Amino acid sequence: MSQLPPIYVTQPYLPPLDEFIPYLREIWDKKILTNAGPFHARFEKALCEYLEVEHVALFANGTIGLVTALQALRVTGEVITTPYSFVATAHSLLWNGNKPVFVDIEPHSLTLDAAKIEAAITSETTAILAVHCYGHPCDVDAIQKIADNYNLRVIYDAAHAFGVRHGSDSLLTHGDLSVLSFHATKVFNTFEGGAIVCPTAKIKLRIDQLKNFGFVDETTVVAAGINGKMAEVNAALGLLQLKHIHHALARREAIDARYREALRGVAGIRCIDAGPPGEANHAYFPILVGADYPLSRDALYDKMRAQGVNPRRYFYPLISSFPMYRTLPSAHPANLPVATAMAQEILCLPIYPDLADEQVDRVVALIASR
Ligand SMILES: Cc1ncc(COP(=O)(O)O)c(C=O)c1O
């Protein structure tokens, strides 16, 4: 076992504590802790400006955001989705009473393969729930074209896609709604938190009602809403985190470049394209451990862990292999050959703003050594 301190796949980014104290003092002075308080309003406004989007509705976490997005669009029946994601993506469908229909992913981006969507559409299909996996954009134009042809809703699980650009626009403006996660492990965190990016004030209003038990005013409840509200302490942290996001993204970009350069000559290791410079957020650093690498993916994973380096096999096992999904016809591995193969080869290497260059080199040395 290595004597060096362990390295984890990620570490939350936190601003200096001294900078947060005045925010806490303001909360203590005002004694407004939640229910759309002043920090909530300020954070929503600042987030819209930073992300260059029209409206956002803040949430307690991304999962409640996903369920609420489905509710807000009144999604029923079957929903086409990816097996290659964090389990919350498909779980949100079960919580909304939908039947997930799994469609395979593209080998280069590991996002939903738009070319395979049409074959999975039935008379029961009402929506597509796609994931910008690792922050890599889905083929948003192809997905929208199919949705328009078949009158389907499009929801993006953008839990990994904070700040990602698509050409000159925010990636988050695509589809009917995009759902962000501000969980501790994400590029941008509010400890726990999330948001729905909304195209109009009308849909934001409905979402704001749904996340507040369905209340529209003091005495009127119009829907079986839930408690999805973000608390003031989380909103205040978000406001402060926005001041540091440029540094956090720049450091991620530098680490990404260092890994790519160092791993270029390592036979059997393929780095996945992060997207054009200036558009990506480098939320993860996924590599594929191919058959021409001397060890299997799991043997490399074990070897690294034995030396105190903790990569993660996101996303293995596939969502479609979990007990609540595996009996669905679309969950059969024969229907998902690319996702099945990728889940066997994937390894996400440590990446976070406070990861030092020497630590990146230590990770690379373990992969490059025979
Ligand atoms: C792809 C994806 N979707 C949804 C979620 C759920 O977000 P949260 O943890 O904020 O509920 C996560 C991560 O946690 C995720 O990685």
Amino acid 276: pLDDT: 85
Prediction pTM value: 0.98
Most informative mutation of 66, 86, 155 for ligand 1 (most atoms within 8 A of CB): 86
Report the atom number in ligand 1 closest to the C-alpha of 88. 4
Q: How far from 280 is each of 56, 249, 363, CA to CA, in Å? A: 21, 9, 22
Helix (H) or strand (E) run with residue 180 in it: strand 177-181
> How many angstroms separate the alpha carbon of residue 71 from the centre of ligand 1?
18
Chain Cα centroid distance, residue 199 = 19
**pLDDT tens-digit map of 145-177:** 999 999 999 999 999 999 999 999 999 999 999
Report residues whose beta carbon is within 6 angstroms of any ligand 1 atom: 61-63, 85-86, 88-89, 131, 157, 159-160, 181, 183, 194
Has residue 29 got a pLDDT over 60?
yes
CA distance 272 to 160: 15
End-to-end CA distance of the chain: give it in Å, rounded: 17
Residue 1 pLDDT grade (very low, low, confident, very high; cuts 50, 70, 90): low
Amino acid 278: pLDDT: 86
Contact in structure between 339 and 316 (CB atoms under 8 Å): no
**pLDDT tens-digit map of 96-139:** 999 999 999 999 999 999 999 999 999 999 999 999 999 999 99
Q: How far from 136 is each of 74, 166, 170, 279, CA to CA, in Å? A: 27, 10, 13, 10
CA distance 145 to 150: 9
Instruction: For residue 153, give the DSSP letter.
Output: E
Contact in structure between 93 and 78 (CB atoms under 8 Å): no
> How many angstroms separate the alpha carbon of residue 89 from the centre of ligand 1?
7
Nearest protein Cα to ligand 1, atom 4: 88
> How many angstroms separate the alpha carbon of residue 65 from the centre of ligand 1?
10
> How many angstroms separate the alpha carbon of residue 181 from the centre of ligand 1?
6
Give the strand pairing for 194-198 and 177-181: antiparallel
CA distance 67 to 52: 24
Give the strand pairing for 269-271 and 285-289: antiparallel
**pLDDT tens-digit map of 51-87:** 999 999 999 999 999 999 999 999 999 999 999 999 9
Most informative mutation of 156, 181, 196, 348 for ligand 1 (most atoms within 8 A of CB): 181
Report the atom number in ligand 1 closest to the C-alpha of 182. 10
